[in-house]
Structure 1
Amino acid sequence: MTGRIILITGAGSGLGAELARQVAASGDYPILAGRSRDKLETVSATIPQPHQLVELDVTNDGITRVLQDLIKTNGRIDVLINNAGLGYFQPLQNLSLQQITEMMDVNYLGIVRMTRLLLPQMLAQQSGHIINIASAAGYVATAKGTGYAASKHAVIGFTHALQEELRRQPIHVSLVNPGPIRTPFFKRADPSGEYVERLKGWILEPEQVAKQVVRLIQQPKREVFIPRAIRWGYIAMLLFPRLYHRLVAPFVNRK
């Protein structure tokens, strides 16, 4: 391999699929990981450059063997992009405990599982980059986001702590906090389509976000907000909480 070997979870659609396309186009070698072989093959047909597919469920302990085989086959993993995620946007009383558990299992524990298994290999090779896709919801929680926001809060805390643990190691750890992205994610999170319709002027396209993540691979940073205005919105909420909850919260709560 002449380029970096980049493992992308949740690559069967949406942001993960677009990341795979852009990573391949940039000259690196993407490994597309996801639960559905059919979806992975559909994405694969859109990537003319060399790449690899692997069936992988981040909630399944069987990923240990899958990752061992990947390392044996490819020799190394240079970059791990923890992108797999799901959400259910419902008031707490309408959410089942199973749905809340599922969000935490995929969004947070999935990242923990993947990172714990690949980190020793990165430490052994004295190089690597872990990129965790969180969400603006991890900083600015909104109505109907009790389960989803909590899972993304956990990702943010986990990533910040890992950055401190690896401060003296030659391994980069990055956190990406995008706003809502126009992907199939919303077919489950917002079946009515009301949320996407109400915020259609603010919805990000997968290409926008993927472009910034690819840039992050090439020029590592600790944290990126997409768009940057999210960072300032979070700071404003901390500095002027009453003003934020009176003027801004009614807008962002429109799910």
Structure 2
Amino acid sequence: MKRNATIFKAGTTEFHRYSLPSAHDEKESFPVPEAIAEQEPQQEPQVSAAMTQHDLQQSRQEGYDDGYRTGLEAGRIQGVKEGHEQGLKQGIEEGYIQGQDQGYRDGLNAGEEELQKVLRNLDLNLQNIQQYYKTRKDELSYWLSALIEEVSRQVIRTELKLQPDMIMNIVRETLTHLPDENSQLTIHMHPEDVAQLRKARADFSNTWTLLEDDQITQGDCRIITETAEANASIEERLSACMEILRESLPEELDRSLA
């Protein structure tokens, strides 16, 4: 199949049909279209070397500026990212350390408050125990002193009955408080003591007069002379002894219960 081709140049107004020669005809030459032969080649525009150098330099500068801005923005973004990550990491570490310290202090303060609470409760309990012990000790001291006083009173009465000479000793001791023992004496005593004294000592001095007195407690006596009077009271002596005992008894109880 034979293919026809149209060859023309831009701006050509005339053309002739041209058929390719046979491949077997070596002598036939290829004719050149007149329009193509007559047309002169177009002139390429001339570019100034200085202008090209300027444009190249400007293009380079623009590329540098664009690259600088791009790199600056990328660096800023990367710096913000890295700074954020580093700041976050540092903040977490510092926050952890600060939180740990704060937690330690809070725990220490809470432990101190709890310890103080326990100590206050312990001190209150000790005060209650001491108050209870003091109350019980006072009660025990009072009970013991009352018991000793009653036992002593019974012992004294028994001894006065069993040993009448004790009554005479009471009289003689009372006489020592009088200025003149040889003056006329009147001795007031309990009736039982008078009976016991007469049995034991019948040879009283003629200057002594025994009088029974129901108002006087057994073991007591009152001696009256012309110028003086002296009293001997078992209860007073016992009370004086019990007062000393009551003062020393709490200390004795402390030592005994320690």
TM-score (norm 1): 0.19
**Is the strand fraction higher in 1 or 2?**
1
Which has the higher relative contact order, 1 or 2, with Cα contacts under 8 A spaced 6 or more apart? 1
Indicate the structure (1 or 2) with the bigger Cα radius of gyration: 2
**Is the helix fraction higher in 1 or 2?**
2
